[in-house]
Structure 1
Amino acid sequence: MPAWSTAREGLGLQEVVNNKDLWKTLLAEFVGTLFLVFIGCLTCIGWTDEGYAPSVVQIALGFGITVATMAQSIGHISGCHINPAVTVAMIVTRKIPLFRALCYIVMQCMGAAAGSALLKALTPEDIHGTLGMTQLNPKLTAAQGFGVEALITFVLVLVVFGVCDERREDVLGSGPLAIGLSVTTCHVGAIKYTGASMNPARSFGPALVTGLWDNHWVYWAGPVFGGLLAGGLYATAFRAGRLHSASDSDREDTKMEKYEP
């Protein structure tokens, strides 16, 4: 999707009647976020009667690889944002119209809630625990938690914009894998601090199902702030320059990047 250049394009209301495939993109965001929360939080469940507790690395890999596989699977449909912080960053950099973005965020939250509800239904009640709910370490203040969430989400969104910059010719390997690994590495470091949400929907789903809303604002404000900073920085300072073809040095590749791993 090219960057919008007018207020009408920015609002995107024309998509309601003109885009027959809009429902597919919304369904993709719902399904992608559902499995992100279901599989990711599934790795957080401990079977205490058997003396089993998941490790930090296991949880980090669970979330990171799930993000990578979902991006590979549905990236061509919706761009696989599956994260309101990514969607907000796309709004401010004019990569997605407002109406579509709001629909994405609603579907992401609904998918997260459905994923958490499925996890609760399929897990024995005596080992539910918090169903993988993100919670601040008791030694942290809310402000510190905000800072951690902002910085780790900054890393994620910066990687998203970097690997999906269509002006770059030096990106090698798998874009979805790079994005998934950014999630993994931030989880390894931040799980003991905040649970490493990096995604407001990921925290919203379990909070809705468990009723644990303590410091929930941290998991919206931190990731959204970090995503805005990363998206704005990449768009204004880090975006690759326009390419010149070998046959015609005056012809520029004006394609705009989009979040489609």
Structure 2
Amino acid sequence: MARQRSGDSILPFFKKQSGQLDGTADQRPRRSRSFSFVPNWVRNEFIAFAGEFGGTFMFLFLAFSGTSIANAAVPTTDGPNTANLLYISLSFAFSLMINVWAFFRISGGLFNPAVSLGLFLVGAVKPVRTIVTASAQIIAAIAAAGVVEGLFPTGLNASTSLSNGTSIAQGLFIEMFLTAELVFVIFMLAAEKHKATFLAPIGVGLALFAAELAGVYFTGGSLNPARSFGPAVIKGFVGHHWIYWLGPVLGTFLAFGFYKLMKYSEYETANPGQDLDDHEASMFNPPDDPVSADEVQRPNVAAETAESIVQQVTSISSGSGPPMEQIGSHGTGVSPMGRVERIGS
């Protein structure tokens, strides 16, 4: 018997073609031919870097521009200029929301070294990706600040500093608590996967909006080391610049600690079934006093419907079940003609 060559197919119907299996191992190309000269992981990290750079640049370019416009106006009162604060808060919130929504499929849409750190802590981002995204964010922040400084007649007027009698200790803890709110929202809306995860950019943008309303007047509302570092490189550093690094990092650890407490306590058992639709709710029957998150998991409607169909068809074939035209009358998902209907229709 002739020895089979290493490139031959073991089975005649498993022909070795581009993008197909050859019967021995997965021979599908792992990267496009244009990038065949680099390892696949390098290509992916480059994509993540480019996505974070582009997304962070556009986020901060729009936010810095809006802030510079707002700060160009002369305050009309000695106290907080609420119109000014609202304009700045909206500039940051809407810019973040739009760009996170646009870039989250590419790199995750993090745009903040504190967020990168937080997602690393919860295991959603690997160490190399954390370094790659954080580096891209810092470089993009410098670039965005430089472009705004040179492009607009008003120049860059978006630096963060303590004001209105805010002490360094107060500024540090303001940044910490506001960042903790933002990062925890990201944990619960983006890192925790659920039916509304695709809407997470809206919640994240609103979280930043609320935080900016509270923080802009006292600290500039950074919540993001890159956001403060970029303007500082272009316009100069203040002596307390370090709080815009330490505050967000402490806030990230605070959010992480509370998130881990909720996960360790299996928070799902306290208020189960909040994400269920009508089909799932009809199949959801948790115990009165659930012990673990496994007891309140979302029902798999498709699997349970398929199992019900199989059981009824089996009973019909054995002559012990209802006629075919009766299947579906109790929510099994089968029409009178025996077709499987789309769940939710």
Aligned pairs for 1:158-169 (under 5 A) are 158-169=184-195
1:211 Cα offset (Å): 1.3
Verify: 1:121 aligned to 2:175, yes or no.
Answer: no
| TM superposition score normalised by structure 2 | 0.61
Distance 1:118 1:228, change over 3 A: same
**Deviations, residues 12-31 of structure 1 (Å, cap 9, x unaligned):** xxxx9441222111111111
The AA in structure 2 aligned to 1:25 is A
Matched residue, 2:242: 217
Relative contact order, CA 8 A, sep 6+: which one is greater? 1
The AA in structure 2 aligned to 1:200 is P
Q: Using the alignment, how far apart are the partners of 2:131 and 2:198 within structure 1?
A: 32
1:189 Cα offset (Å): 1.3
Structure 1 unmatched ranges of 5 or more: 1-15, 249-261
Q: Using the alignment, how far apart are the partners of 1:118 and 1:74 within structure 2?
A: 21
Matched residue, 1:234: 259
Q: Using the alignment, how far apart are the partners of 2:246 and 2:145 within structure 1?
A: 21
Please give the root-mean-square deviation of Cα atoms over the aligned residues, in Å: 2.4
Q: Percent identity at matched positions?
A: 28
Q: Is the 8 A contact 1:161 1:234 kept in 2?
A: yes
Q: Using the alignment, how far apart are the partners of 1:172 and 1:49 within structure 2?
A: 38
Distance 1:94 1:192, change over 3 A: same
Q: Using the alignment, how far apart are the partners of 1:195 and 1:155 within structure 2?
A: 16
Identify the match of residue 162 of structure 2 among 124, 133, 136: 136
**Deviations, residues 27-59 of structure 1 (Å, cap 9, x unaligned):** 111111112221111112248888589711011
Identify the match of residue 111 of structure 1 among 111, 129, 140: 140
Verify: 1:38 aligned to 2:61, yes or no.
Answer: yes
Q: Using the alignment, how far apart are the partners of 1:69 and 1:203 within structure 2?
A: 21
The AA in structure 2 aligned to 1:140 is T
Aligned pairs for 1:1-261 (under 5 A) are 17-19=39-41, 20-46=43-69, 55-124=84-153, 127-128=154-155, 131-169=157-195, 171=196, 174-238=199-263, 240=268, 241-242=293-294, 243-246=297-300
**Deviations, residues 130-167 of structure 1 (Å, cap 9, x unaligned):** 62001111511111111000000111011101112445
Q: Using the alignment, how far apart are the partners of 1:174 and 1:137 within structure 2?
A: 35
Aligned residues: 229
Matched residue, 2:288: none
| TM superposition score normalised by structure 1 | 0.80
1:245 Cα offset (Å): 3.0
Q: Using the alignment, how far apart are the partners of 1:224 and 1:32 within structure 2?
A: 21
Distance 1:191 1:214, change over 3 A: same
Which structure features the higher share of helix residues?
1
Distance 1:49 1:100, change over 3 A: closer
SS at match of 1:235: helix
**Deviations, residues 96-151 of structure 1 (Å, cap 9, x unaligned):** 11121111111100000000000011022xx33x6200111151111111100000
Structure 2 unmatched ranges of 5 or more: 1-37, 77-82, 269-292, 305-345
